[in-house]
Structure 1
């Protein structure tokens, strides 16, 4: 059975094997606690009738521009939605993580049981004393409001289904799959702030069973409407720090984050600019707010829930954190941006519960805000969408999404899939900035509006990290370019830093498979038929290869 090492997508390294084990609650007792919480003072409050002592610190929900390097109004735009009594009521968010503090005073657990995939019990609470990532994720999405405790979540009336997947050193493909299929009919959203380790610059495949599971969630989850699976883009965008030009990870090197059935989330800071650590990628959908940076250093992080007491990230003893150890002000990364987007989806489904997963994706794309408008990578694709390799379609905007959904027409029909397989014996010119191209002709696809594109390469290049791969849609469709891979640095070890050996970093040596599949959201709404152009550019001397096998897969309607 295949096993892989997984890291949570946070800027803090967590090594579970060195943690102190916490006593696991008796399952029956824990279920009784859950029943008590369902009737406690963290019940949903639709009217503004109370306060939350840490809400003033939550700039991602209300950015007044007072923080250094911040831009007023650069937040999730949730308050006008809350004023309409839309707070995520009845929506269940499955948080796939290192567990959740099920007894937290500011969270509401669902009556639908969660699961601990280590012990195979319905109690998803943390097992280690310094676990707390899943609790912080849950708070960003759905911490209770107006109860005199902590801060608020984006959807403060939504409920959490905890799924403890990550408290193990290696994770089986079967557990990965079950993390997505558990409570598949009952959960509306699956939040995933985890993925392969950051900063290595290596390709990482996902397992066949996980792919099947997220496809099942997409097609059959939420009683056939489809479960919305949000996925963190990754934090490998600035391995050398804010001011470093070192380039390693791209979100598209992650076979989880580039899957067509997930909605991949990047991160922006208080100024609406890309958080340096947030990975670029043609696969990005929207960004959420998280700790960002100015030109030289990181700025204000996110205030959210932490495992209660001296557990989790905040032990209550650091001058750099809150004195109330049930909360933390240091949450960050695409780990935090992702549940913010999950919370916006919860607001959307609260008001419009019959939206399909495909509806939700396109509503978020159309309503996304063009943040950092001066960024040079912004362009408009052939269907009129703003697109950017740093930001996807832009920053999530709850108010705009709800407004657009009010007049939305459900996307008709089924998700079509069309494939073209071909190959080329053309040599990829060594160390040449022009590169070489190959054409892929799509005809008779029946797809007039693309929803996702995949490109699979089987090039035999022995040092894949020096390749740049570009995919351009037909000129009649828009001629939109997707940068799928970039010339970058690759490491086999980070401490001490050990670069991948020259001539020994092929697709096969990195993944164990002879091909790798990239994804792109940038062609949303474009026509599929026509001649697609793939360009391979070799960025360094010493390795010669051919283009080899290619497959273009187009999804849409």
Structure 2
């Protein structure tokens, strides 16, 4: 018979073991038997003659009656008191006991009747019972032990099993773990907000969904779009439209509805508005990022834009409107230098001082779309202002879009459009329609405006500077690809393409919820350097200034930087030839201006202000260096020099740490200083020797990894003040990043030069997460994922990144071309053996293909020609061609470029035999050759700016020696004909020949 026992809750003793519904007596056992049933107490059952001793657990969770007499007359059992009501237990054990035929009646009669009446049978199974034992804990994960183990050892027990809880799940189809019940039809196409398509192309690093799931949707926040108006009755905008946040500056009325025409020219503002606050769940089109925010529009671009128009637009209802979003600016033509006028500047200043009842209006600006024209957004005074949040764009795959402008004032980035084959942004459009073709940085500004609306819902007391700090702190580089990522002196990773990285809506609302206002802004105006300095062509002018950051003026002292502004005046014959950089005391280089090939202006710069955020969080005091590089173009006389007339620095920041009330002196390193005068000489010598041994340990040991001896540890205690945010759980001995005892993320530096904690590793290093150290990349690597030569992800200047091999090379191998902008070796078209500049710009073809202009086309058999539409080889009987573009009239000696018959190849081409063709073809010389013979690399004459060297053309601008002694050896060994040595010994090899 099976019996089950298991855990239960302990209760008080009972006086009987059988339910009162059982009869007061049972028939005697057949034959002579003495049956003793054991529990926590003793129950004796006596019949005449025979004894049988099966172990027996308690029934119904009641304690056995301790006072039951050992010997009872027939009948077998008698009741002494009633039992409690039957209980149901989730756990327990099952037991089955053997019962020989001649010794069965006592156990079967007594136990069976008790179990049947009290409900402890296991369904309809016979001889199986479920019992509980007080010594088994309800949540026990261990097998049963103790007195009840005797059940298992008894030979009459066939089977026993302790009961345990098993996990069972309902086989229902679950919804998406982060799905929100949006019925808007275009919601599945909003790839930049969610990951609904389950593909590798899916991007959700902006974490909009996570912010929504925390309950933030922009409620009670007001956003307005400064543009060409918004379609206020659009079904996706009508619900959230706010007339108090709207005005028509062009028409001087309160209706911002755009002017309609056949071309739908004034669609821009409506598209931006939908990104911010399109209503959710109205079954019409899309979902806005802040879909419960109030949205308005200022119509000001559909007419003459003047300083008055801009100032009026920027100053409409500053106490009511929280966020102004603008996706416009001066011409992105690569030659304009323009910004806000006097009135507009005053409107900005009034907004940040008085707007939002003193918290400051928030101005979000698109960084510009002039990338194809080589424009640089530091020449745009709106994105270059400390009062605006300049936002850049990236493609869905994290690449630089073709329209992106680089500059040091960009704060953060969002997704936007890219190449024609990459997905764009879906939003509202004119005439109650929707579009999936919204593009450019115009997308990014309203996206960030929507995300800031979520943050303001989380914390309405954020100031305009708090919002900028939040973006700096929470934006992340993630998968954004840029060749110039660097870690500044405060540990922030920053790029001229993407600022501090991709915005993270979830991170910003979490930080905003617990945010404390940053200390007051201090402004320190540096001394004006009016000593004129000439800017020589092909040289770098360096002007340095040593700044105390107004340490002598308490109300102006800047200790921790936010914005740095360089105000300068330059006269120059061609402004576009200039490159300007600023190097901070921490060594952070901000490129303030790059060459602009279309900027032919001779006006220079007159008091223009360049702004950088790349020094955010760094110390302001120290030596600052301004670098100006003049690279003269071919259309300019290099003898005419430019002049730096004057320049000065403006520091914006705080006198206290913006995140924690840090204090105390700057750390001088990680070396422990023990005052010898305060201890015995022998003890001081011992401690100093231990410090020296520790300092000689592994070069990149993490802070806190050095175990100091116990006598030394007694003298070292963490700093009583707040530690740097990058310090780990072991504390610090000061407030700075180089005073941490261990790091949260990575340790950078060595025990000899000093270590500091950083959030990410700088260029030339990679993060070893296991050891929490920054380790050096392989030589030549700017960024990497390991120490190997084939683990590079970006290369140092003058080297190219071979993306298939992940190596850094001096020259791209055959089959690849050098992409100069991002210094990459990209693969040529599959038919090209060699190419230059672009994948399909072929200079040599693989077998089976012939060069036709700049393309490789299939080779045709004799008496056949390649037709253009469709592209195939068709028969070409001699003398029957329709015109000069047909191959039939071509004689055997007449070379034909572009499949035209010509008497001679034009400049930059040479005649060559082609397999399968009766005539010669004109093949392209190397990129820098203007004439060549026999092969593309055998140059006879070079293009302007290049010199002929052993049949190759090398640039005059980079014709320098790597090492003089080495180059003399190259020259003496007649190695100048080798291209590799030409690269290193250009000057010596030119002198040789």
- Match of residue 645, structure 2, among 548, 551, 554: 548
8 Å CA contact 1:65–1:73 kept in 2: the answer is: no
User: Shift of the alpha carbon at 1:372?
Assistant: 3.2
Q: Does 1:210 align with 2:344?
A: yes
8 Å CA contact 1:88–1:350 kept in 2: the answer is: yes
Q: Which runs of 4+ in 1 moved over 6 A?
A: none
Which residue is equivalent to 1:275?
401
Q: 1:100 to 1:357 in 2, by over 3 A?
A: same
| Structure with the greater alpha carbon radius of gyration | 2
- Match of residue 413, structure 2, among 265, 287, 290: 287
- Match of residue 156, structure 1, among 291, 297, 305: 291
> Structure 2 CA distance, aligned partners of 1:94 and 1:357?
16
Which residue is equivalent to 2:613?
521
Which residue is equivalent to 1:80?
210
- Match of residue 269, structure 2, among 112, 134, 137: 134
SS of 2:529's partner is: strand
> Structure 2 CA distance, aligned partners of 1:146 and 1:253?
42
SS of 2:385's partner is: coil
Q: Does 1:388 align with 2:495?
A: yes
SS of 1:195's partner is: coil
User: Where in structure 1 are there 5+ consecutive unaligned residues?
Assistant: 1-46, 240-247, 310-325, 492-499, 509-513
Query: TM-score scaled by structure 1?
Result: 0.79
> Structure 2 CA distance, aligned partners of 1:96 and 1:234?
15
> Structure 2 CA distance, aligned partners of 1:395 and 1:364?
9
8 Å CA contact 1:193–1:334 kept in 2: the answer is: yes
Q: 1:450 to 1:56 in 2, by over 3 A?
A: same
> Structure 1 CA distance, aligned partners of 2:472 and 2:547?
25
Which residue is equivalent to 1:171?
305
8 Å CA contact 2:398–2:480 kept in 1: the answer is: no
8 Å CA contact 1:75–1:270 kept in 2: the answer is: no
Q: Higher relative contact order at CA 8 Å, sep ≥6: structure 1 or structure 2?
A: 1
8 Å CA contact 1:74–1:272 kept in 2: the answer is: no
> Structure 1 CA distance, aligned partners of 2:183 and 2:570?
58
SS of 1:470's partner is: strand
Q: Does 1:91 align with 2:199?
A: no
Which residue is equivalent to 2:631?
539
User: Shift of the alpha carbon at 1:507?
Assistant: 2.5
Q: Which structure 2 residues correspond to residues 125-274 of structure 1 after superposition, within 5 A?
A: 125-129=257-261, 130=264, 131-168=266-303, 170-239=304-373, 248-274=374-400
> Structure 1 CA distance, aligned partners of 2:277 and 2:531?
50
Q: 1:270 to 1:156 in 2, by over 3 A?
A: same
8 Å CA contact 1:142–1:158 kept in 2: the answer is: yes
CA deviation vs aligned residue, 1:126-174 (integer Å, no higher than 9, x gap): 0233111100000111111111110111110111121001001x31101
User: Shift of the alpha carbon at 1:51?
Assistant: 1.2
Which residue is equivalent to 1:436?
541
8 Å CA contact 2:581–2:589 kept in 1: the answer is: yes
> Structure 2 CA distance, aligned partners of 1:290 and 1:63?
16
Larger displacement relative to structure 2 (374-383 or 282-291): 374-383
Which residue is equivalent to 2:594?
486
> Structure 2 CA distance, aligned partners of 1:398 and 1:373?
17
SS of 1:465's partner is: helix
CA deviation vs aligned residue, 1:329-353 (integer Å, no higher than 9, x gap): 1001100111011110000001111
Q: Does 1:468 align with 2:571?
A: no
Which residue is equivalent to 2:563?
452
User: Shift of the alpha carbon at 1:65?
Assistant: 6.8
Q: Does 1:306 align with 2:429?
A: yes
> Structure 1 CA distance, aligned partners of 2:315 and 2:434?
30
Q: Does 1:115 align with 2:250?
A: no
User: Shift of the alpha carbon at 1:95?
Assistant: 0.5
> Structure 1 CA distance, aligned partners of 2:201 and 2:398?
7
Which residue is equivalent to 1:56?
188
User: Where in structure 2 are there 5+ consecutive unaligned residues?
Assistant: 1-178, 551-556, 633-637, 655-993
User: Shift of the alpha carbon at 1:63?
Assistant: 4.2
Root mean square deviation, CA, Å: 1.8
> Structure 1 CA distance, aligned partners of 2:481 and 2:285?
36
CA deviation vs aligned residue, 1:215-266 (integer Å, no higher than 9, x gap): 2111211111111100010000123xxxxxxxx2011110111011000000
Which residue is equivalent to 1:103?
233
8 Å CA contact 2:223–2:295 kept in 1: the answer is: yes
Q: Does 1:327 align with 2:327?
A: no
User: Shift of the alpha carbon at 1:73?
Assistant: 3.2
Q: Which structure 2 residues correspond to residues 346-425 of structure 1 after superposition, within 5 A?
A: 346-372=453-479, 375-425=482-532
> Structure 1 CA distance, aligned partners of 2:431 and 2:439?
19
> Structure 1 CA distance, aligned partners of 2:183 and 2:454?
20
8 Å CA contact 1:180–1:214 kept in 2: the answer is: yes
> Structure 2 CA distance, aligned partners of 1:343 and 1:451?
23
Query: TM-score scaled by structure 2?
Result: 0.45
Larger displacement relative to structure 2 (517-526 or 439-448): 439-448
8 Å CA contact 2:191–2:203 kept in 1: the answer is: no
Which residue is equivalent to 1:28?
none
